[in-house]
Structure 1
């Protein structure tokens, strides 16, 4: 057994000590399944053929493909994977299996490195892929208050910084079908810099969230990436943060792009008791579904992100966001976002600004985009036909958004 400890997601795998932990808590795995997991992790740089796995793990004992399939199901159950999601173990048709989750290592007894760097390979690539645009190097930086923030750069060319938004997790988002098209689209001749804000994904957990803290996160990432001045993209909840940052750091933001954004969260913009009650009901239903794992309640929130998409996409977002952040933190995120108000800061934005929005977005009404355009002096509003809050690759609004984005950046 290897004398190396492996860290992936929320897990710690110690082959020599025969231990698997999740968030420092032991995970029980039967010996054969544990050996399968160890072998796949130790050989994660390649696809491992079925027969090689059987030979290595069964050590010459008779075994069938069915026995291997059972062992792999046991492994996936232990680490929260599935044959459909394949976030950790990918099945390569007619070839075998590959462990694909980003992994850091440390010698036995040393614990993980304080500031590890992790290579992330997208689905369809291999750990040995040397194409600079096909891999992310996840790095870590620290804010002024000491919070550790995970960030990465993808692609080559002039920078484009994307603010963090609703529950990101950097080691998962690039390989999930929900968001993979954003990376292909935003790295055409650009170096995309993104990050997990505090309390989300691979960044340090937090119990409270404020606009000032989110600005600190972005400051730390821009400094770590060596950026003085750059265009800034804010999508959805990342929009108010982008507006506030452009207003408070005018020397750093050259151009501002906002998509599906708003100046005031739902509670902040409520005009009377009825609208406040609607905003609170929206919040309570979303949290009830999350905490109680109620399928219909969960869909209440995610259906608003992909209103024009099939229910399968809603469920994919449910699964993703639960892996991105604990339920308690997600609740605090939702409440903090609903109270955001950057209307006064929007009036102070001095850089050219492009605002885009789907006409029938059910999560953030198009009237919020119109308000942003009215508040920001040098701004232009483009409205796309569509009902999705987050743009999908198959809808006409997606290529239209990219065309507007690149034309704006080229001005």
Structure 2
């Protein structure tokens, strides 16, 4: 392509590596002050209005005059970013604003390319991204701000690392790449994500040998020890074509939802909802539920619709979130199981299939082991047996703890970036509208304190010793490239639960979204499982 036809942006900003700014292709000298550079990066990356007093606290919490320090830094940044035609940095007595129109930010450009172009990216594009993402986000600016800035910086670095893993995975799998080049990039991938890289290659090996439909397939996939898991080839409706949008009358947003309340043994009020008619199916609570807001969800709405077409779908909000009591003494696996038990008893559910998502899988497993006569089947999606306090490496634990600190200081902020960390790891391939919805949903679903407490509770979960005691028919579904809970953890569930079936899903999303093919595969596999066992 003739480069003369490429329109160069007026301003290019790079935050991968040391911060740099280019105006019409020419490098612009930045102020030498580390705090001023950190302020530049924070304004540019967050892309929103900030209160002056918060910026003063974040960067200049000193006995001297922090307001004067902020004014000085803003004057320096105006010289870098503003032009006669475009005032990118503006401020009044209370707020500071950044207008990014006409500029390109390197990490944003990579993120957009991955979301929009995805698998259609060329090898050359992916290689360039991989090299750019090799640079440390805001290299050299550690300690330039307070704890809130440090938590934000660490979370941004985690996001950049996750993007690099995505790019490397696409490179290694690209149909146009040579074997030697693929092996080179695989070494880079293993350097930052050994478990993900090995699981991917083992999955490729299993697929290539056509073993996914019988037991030995999992030997290759796990490459650890023999297993009794049955790996089921996903069944799709209408020859794997995406299902049409559900009829309006079947959508829970249009069906009448009946909300009630019941009290756990410690007096905690638990909100539950039923929709549809017929035999019951119960969904265990997971992450942050909110019975009312879920009904308007672009994520779960269609799933609720399909489940409620011929059944009574029962959902509830765990303690600490949604319409249930928020001010509770304890959040733990034991209290989560107590919430499920309270709802099942309140509704007089004698025998029913139980669906678990994410940490809800462990809750469902624990309940099923304690009440084998009541659970007719287990559907486990994106789950794990042991939380990060037990199963994660020291590096992963450090990242989790950093995100927990960030949650405490920023969850309730007007800035959605603090919650966007979760949105992006839960649904890296979701579109902007879905991510924006989920950012706001989390804010309304629980408090900052409880969001941090939930993370601790999830980390302490451990049902590994209970898996062999499950007697209910079980299907385990897990995204191959789950960015939140690696597929190896789903495979552990399937390997240890007797006679479990395993269904791999072609997705990076921990929470499947309605418009991705994996959603239809998952839905069809669940229906096939329930039909097969007459549940």
Q: Report the TM-score range of the alignment, normalised by the length of the smaller protein.
A: 0.5 to 0.7
**Residue segments in structure 1 that go unaligned for 5+ positions in a row:** 1-123
Q: Deviations over 1:10-37 (max 9, x none)?
A: xxxxxxxxxxxxxxxxxxxxxxxxxxxx
Q: Which residue of 2 aligns with 1:210?
A: 332
Counterpart CA distance in 2 for 1:324 and 1:125 is 26
5 Å-filtered alignment, 1:244-283, equals 244-271=366-393, 273-283=394-404
Counterpart CA distance in 2 for 1:140 and 1:227 is 16
5 Å-filtered alignment, 1:139-150, equals 139-150=260-271
2:529 counterpart of 1:386: no
- What is the Cα-based RMSD across aligned positions, in Å? 2.3
CA contact (8 A) 1:141 1:149 kept: yes
Counterpart CA distance in 2 for 1:295 and 1:158 is 40
| Greater fraction helix | 2
Q: Which residue of 2 aligns with 1:316?
A: 437
2:335 counterpart of 1:335: no
Q: Deviations over 1:133-162 (max 9, x none)?
A: 811110111112221111111111111100
Secondary structure of the residue that 1:347 maps to in structure 2? helix
Counterpart CA distance in 2 for 1:293 and 1:331 is 17
CA contact (8 A) 2:478 2:505 kept: yes
2:476 counterpart of 1:355: yes
CA contact (8 A) 1:308 1:388 kept: yes
TM, length-normalised to structure 2: 0.51
Equivalent in 179, 187, 202 of residue 308 of structure 2: 187
Counterpart CA distance in 1 for 2:277 and 2:401 is 43
CA contact (8 A) 1:229 1:254 kept: yes
Counterpart CA distance in 2 for 1:214 and 1:144 is 12
CA contact (8 A) 1:264 1:341 kept: yes
How far 1:298 moved relative to its partner? Answer: 2.5
Secondary structure of the residue that 2:469 maps to in structure 1? coil
Secondary structure of the residue that 1:134 maps to in structure 2? coil
How far 1:339 moved relative to its partner? Answer: 1.7
Q: Which residue of 2 aligns with 1:242?
A: 364
Counterpart CA distance in 1 for 2:453 and 2:423 is 17
TM, length-normalised to structure 1: 0.65
Secondary structure of the residue that 2:273 maps to in structure 1? strand
CA contact (8 A) 1:156 1:191 kept: yes
Q: Which residue of 2 aligns with 1:372?
A: 493
After the TM superposition, which of the residue ranges 131-140 and 320-329 deviates more from structure 2?
A: 131-140
Counterpart CA distance in 2 for 1:202 and 1:373 is 33
Question: Which structure exhibits the higher relative contact order, with contacts defined as CA atoms closer than 8 Å and separated by 6 or more residues?
Answer: 2
How far 1:288 moved relative to its partner? Answer: 4.4
CA contact (8 A) 2:276 2:311 kept: yes
Counterpart CA distance in 1 for 2:462 and 2:330 is 17
Q: Which residue of 2 aligns with 1:199?
A: 320
Q: Which residue of 2 aligns with 1:219?
A: 341
Cα distance, 1:334–1:307 mapped onto 2, change above 3 Å: same
5 Å-filtered alignment, 1:287-306, equals 287-306=408-427
Secondary structure of the residue that 2:271 maps to in structure 1? strand
Counterpart CA distance in 2 for 1:148 and 1:181 is 28
Secondary structure of the residue that 2:411 maps to in structure 1? helix
Cα distance, 1:316–1:133 mapped onto 2, change above 3 Å: closer
Q: Deviations over 1:81-126 (max 9, x none)?
A: xxxxxxxxxxxxxxxxxxxxxxxxxxxxxxxxxxxxxxxxxxx999
Secondary structure of the residue that 1:203 maps to in structure 2? coil
Secondary structure of the residue that 1:394 maps to in structure 2? coil
CA contact (8 A) 1:350 1:378 kept: no
Q: Which residue of 1 aligns with 2:51?
A: none
Secondary structure of the residue that 1:238 maps to in structure 2? helix
Cα distance, 1:132–1:359 mapped onto 2, change above 3 Å: closer
Instruction: Kindly tell me the number of residue pairs found equivalent between the two proteins.
Output: 284
Secondary structure of the residue that 2:377 maps to in structure 1? strand
How far 1:225 moved relative to its partner? Answer: 1.3
How far 1:287 moved relative to its partner? Answer: 4.2
Counterpart CA distance in 1 for 2:418 and 2:446 is 18
Counterpart CA distance in 2 for 1:249 and 1:354 is 18
Counterpart CA distance in 1 for 2:288 and 2:514 is 20
* Greater Rg over alpha carbons, structure: 2
CA contact (8 A) 1:133 1:155 kept: no
How far 1:402 moved relative to its partner? Answer: 1.2
Counterpart CA distance in 2 for 1:278 and 1:133 is 41
Q: Which residue of 1 aligns with 2:290?
A: 169
Counterpart CA distance in 1 for 2:334 and 2:493 is 20
Q: Which residue of 1 aligns with 2:13?
A: none
How far 1:233 moved relative to its partner? Answer: 0.2
5 Å-filtered alignment, 1:390-409, equals 390-409=511-530
| Greater fraction strand | 1
Counterpart CA distance in 2 for 1:389 and 1:132 is 23
Counterpart CA distance in 2 for 1:349 and 1:370 is 15
